[in-house]
Amino acid sequence: MSSAMYERMRANPKFQELVTRRGRYAWTLAFIVLSMFYGFVMVVAFNPVALGQPVSEGSMWTVGVVVELFMFVFFWVLTALYVRRANSEFDALTQEIVKEAWKENK
Amino acid sequence: MRRLTQFSTALGLFAIAAMAYAGPPVEGAMEKQATNWHAIIMFCIFVALTMGITYWASSRTKSTADFYTAGGGITGFQNGMAIAGDYMSAATLLGLTAMVYTQGYDGYIYMLAFFAGWPIILFLMAERLRNLGQFTFSDITAYRLDQGKVRTMAAISSLTVVCFYLIAQMVGAGQLIKLLFGLEYNVAIFAVGILMMVYVTFGGMVATTWVQIIKAGMLLCGGTLVMVLAFSHFGFSFQTLLEQATAVHKLGPKLMYPGSLLADPVTAISLGLGLMFGTAGLPHILMRFFTVTDAKAARKSVLVASGLVAYFFNVIFIMGLCGIIIVGQNPDFFEAGQVGGKLIGGGNMVAMHLSSAVGGNMLLGFLAAVAFATILAVVSGLALAGASAISHDLYARVIKKGQATEAAEIRVSRIATICLGFVAIFLGILFEKQNIAFMVGLAFGVAAAANFPVLILSMYWRGLTTRGALFGGYGGLVSAVLFVLFSKSVWVDVLGNPAALFPYTQPALFAMPIAFLLAYIFSKTDTSVRAGKEIEAFEDQYVRAQTGFGAAGASKH
């Protein structure tokens, strides 16, 4: 019974739409996080001196501290963006798909 | 009857707590401190409160779903608090503050690596976890594969991670109580182990979650207060703080450069991988995704948790830097008053000394109670994750092949909790001298290599077969453990051999590719009929992962 439901959902063009849209969004965000983070790790590994430089003459704020602080904030903003879109747009689409599969079932 | 036993156990625990301040002084211990009544009173209030919750929770813990996942009835915000609580362990509070204190900027890099896993978990894993899982993450890896073999593998690697992580928590607990109460290390370890057993065996996930939520709130308030008070000494100017810190620290201007902890590129990258993907492989964190109603709440909990974690890491960074001046220059905090010598209570006590310096005994008491509560809560979460691997995966699904009654399954998990409590006590005593933040790093390395690869492949790659999952899982586990065993930290420091067989301390960079590669090769070459069926079954799993249709508990709430 539930296998038949899954079959119907898979056949629904909206399912493909959900998978493509959500997948693209999630992977784009994940790519941003991964490339920024591992880019940073590479700098730590291969050019640590660059991170210790002050952002301006006489300032104690170093490039490394500023970059990290930015990443803490930015990554969290990305999670907020994803949660907002997933909990509204993607969830609505999901509910439609399930509802339509039930309807066909009857 | 059960309530009676429970009450008597609770009374027994109060007696232990009472021993904590009435107990005999430690023979010739330099670390022995004057009894801190503020800390004891606040800690007793915490224990009383959480015992009350455990009592209430025990009446609500009837089914296995209640026991493992609080019936799936935790809200997104509550669960976010609990995840943050699980994640911000005593090793975080004590170990990372100490790391910033001694290594400066390196500690901050560590923290970013601890944090950066969260967005990835949200984008790629959170909703699939919730949609596919029931009680443990093995539900997902074993979803379309051979239940017995794959679950056994997942349970073994879960337990390995849990044990590593337990070591860090227990050692932290012992040191803390030794410093605070003048109690013997071993007695302190027993107190933590026994309290944990009570929370978990009687209250299950309901009690564990609430203990975690309360403690997360206390930790955030306490940490923020200490940070604000300490930072006010520098007029809330990061500039002034850093000028003074680099002036007095023995690293000098190098304090703000990536330094010795990440001396070579391989260690830096390996650590980054281990911390990031380790988060996504910690059984007690993964389990939290099953306590919420649906994928929506699961996402919200990650949002709350990651926000709190990011905030608190920055608080800790400032605390550590303030500690360099406020604690590091004050002879009162050093043994025999030697500035730059050995800190009283050991290197991990910077946060405690800082709170005492800026807020007196009252604040020290509060923060100490928070740290102790933190350890209790995290240890409980770990024990529950370990116990569910034993009872849900090994007992109910592997040994009984799904025929076990709920009552029997809960009974087994309670027994498992008690056994794990004793294992924790034993390991805590064995590893007394290890740096605790470092032990956490090891737990993450094993989680990243043993749990994460198979879990992510089972959700994303249709080609994964039982054979591939087993080789990948065991391969990752064995290689991660061997890399740790042969590294300097165990082979030389613990076992006393002259030279390390494996030159790096972080296993992830080497063990993760091994796991992925083995899983790939042995799945691809698996041409059995069963493998074909498993690959076919991916289709239905995929629709459920995407839509949540058929997900456990979704209809009941």
Lookup: tokens for B246: 């680099």
Closest in A15, A34, A76 to B120, CB measured: A34
- Of B375, B343, B348, B370, nearest to B359 by C-alpha is B370
Give A99: exposed, middle or buried? Use CB within 10 Å, 0-12, 13-18, 19+.
exposed
Give B8: exposed, middle or buried? Use CB within 10 Å, 0-12, 13-18, 19+.
exposed
Q: Fill in the amino acid letter for B424.
A: A
Residue B5 has what pLDDT?
45
Would the CA dihedral through A51, A52, A53, A55 be positive or negative?
positive
Residue B256 has what pLDDT?
87
**Residues in chain B closer than 8 A to A82 (CB atoms):** 119, 122-123, 299
* CA distance linking residue B444 with residue B277, whole number of Å: 8
The helix/strand/coil state of B557 is coil
* CA distance linking residue B543 with residue B75, whole number of Å: 25
Residue B436 has what pLDDT?
61
Q: Is there a contact between B327 and B333 (Cβ–Cβ < 8 Å)?
A: yes
Alpha-carbon Rg for chain B in angstroms? 23
Mean pLDDT lowest for which of B138-147, B265-274, B337-346?
B337-346
Closest approach of A16 to chain B, Cα-based (Å) = 10
Residue B317's pLDDT band (cuts 50, 70, 90): very high
Residue B20 has what pLDDT?
36
Residue A106's pLDDT band (cuts 50, 70, 90): low
Q: Is A66 on the interface with B (CB under 8 A)?
A: no
DSSP string, B31-88: T-----HHHHHHHHHHHHHHHHHHHHHHHH--SHHHHHHGGG-B-HHHHHHHHHHHHS
| CA distances to A9, A84, B146, B289, B457 from B549, in Å | 10, 21, 22, 16, 21
Residue B23 has what pLDDT?
33
The count of structural domains within chain A is: 1
Residues sharing a CB contact under 8 Å with residue B123, sequence separation 6 or more, in sequence order: A26, A27, A29, A30, A33, A82
Closest in B119, B259, B549 to A5, CB measured: B549
Residue B338 has what pLDDT?
80
State percent of chain B over pLDDT 90: 30
Q: Is A3 on the interface with B (CB under 8 A)?
A: yes
Q: How many helices (H) and strands (E) does chain B have?
A: 22, 0
pLDDT at B62 exceeding the cut of 90: no
* CA distance linking residue B166 with residue B378, whole number of Å: 9
Q: How many helices (H) and strands (E) does chain A have?
A: 5, 0
**Residues in chain A closer than 8 A to B241 (CB atoms):** 60
Distance of CA A72 to the CA centre of its chain: 15
Residue B260's pLDDT band (cuts 50, 70, 90): low
* Mean pLDDT score, B364-376: 85
* CA distance linking residue B179 with residue B364, whole number of Å: 11
| Structural domain harbouring A56 | 3-105
* Mean pLDDT score, B87-102: 86
Lookup: tokens for B354: 């800082």
Residue B29's pLDDT band (cuts 50, 70, 90): very low
Phi, psi dihedral angles at B334 (to 5 degrees): -110, 150
Top pLDDT among B97 and B90 is at B97
Residue B221's pLDDT band (cuts 50, 70, 90): very high
* Mean pLDDT score, B112-116: 90
DSSP string, B72-101: G-B-HHHHHHHHHHHHS-HIIIIIIHHHHH
| CA distances to B43, B257, B437 from B440, in Å | 25, 23, 5
Residue B33's pLDDT band (cuts 50, 70, 90): low
Residue B498 has what pLDDT?
85
* CA distance linking residue B93 with residue B366, whole number of Å: 14
Residue B155 has what pLDDT?
92
The helix/strand/coil state of B298 is helix
**Residues in chain A closer than 8 A to B306 (CB atoms):** 75-76, 79
pLDDT at B264 exceeding the cut of 50: yes
Give B85: exposed, middle or buried? Use CB within 10 Å, 0-12, 13-18, 19+.
buried
Beta strands in B250-348 (DSSP E): none
DSSP code at position B487: S
Q: What is the ipTM of this complex?
A: 0.92
Contact criterion met (CB < 8 Å) for B118 and A52 = no
Q: How many residues does chain B have?
A: 557
Question: What's the pLDDT tens digit per position in A68-105?
Answer: 999 999 999 999 999 999 999 999 999 888 888 888 77
Mean pLDDT lowest for which of B172-176, B287-291, B425-429, B543-547?
B172-176
Residue B28 has what pLDDT?
33
The helix/strand/coil state of A62 is strand
Residue B457 has what pLDDT?
93
* CA distance linking residue B480 with residue B509, whole number of Å: 10
Q: Is there a contact between B243 and A60 (Cβ–Cβ < 8 Å)?
A: yes
Closest in A62, A80, A97 to B256, CB measured: A62
Q: Is B555 on the interface with A (CB under 8 A)?
A: no
Closest in B115, B238, B265 to A60, CB measured: B238
Residue B35 has what pLDDT?
65
Q: Is B429 on the interface with A (CB under 8 A)?
A: no
Average pLDDT along chain B: 84
What ranges in B126-184 are assigned the alpha helix state H? 127-132, 138-141, 147-181
Contact criterion met (CB < 8 Å) for B119 and A79 = yes
Residues sharing a CB contact under 8 Å with residue B335, sequence separation 6 or more, in sequence order: B30, B341, B342, B343, B344
Q: Is A69 on the interface with B (CB under 8 A)?
A: yes
Residues sharing a CB contact under 8 Å with residue B375, sequence separation 6 or more, in sequence order: B89, B90, B169, B170, B172, B173, B176, B192
Residue B437 has what pLDDT?
58
Contact criterion met (CB < 8 Å) for A9 and B547 = yes
Residue whose entry in the numeric block shows the structure tokens 């898979």: A10
**Residues in chain B closer than 8 A to A38 (CB atoms):** 269, 272
Contact criterion met (CB < 8 Å) for A41 and B269 = yes
| CB–CB contacts below 8 A, A to B | 157
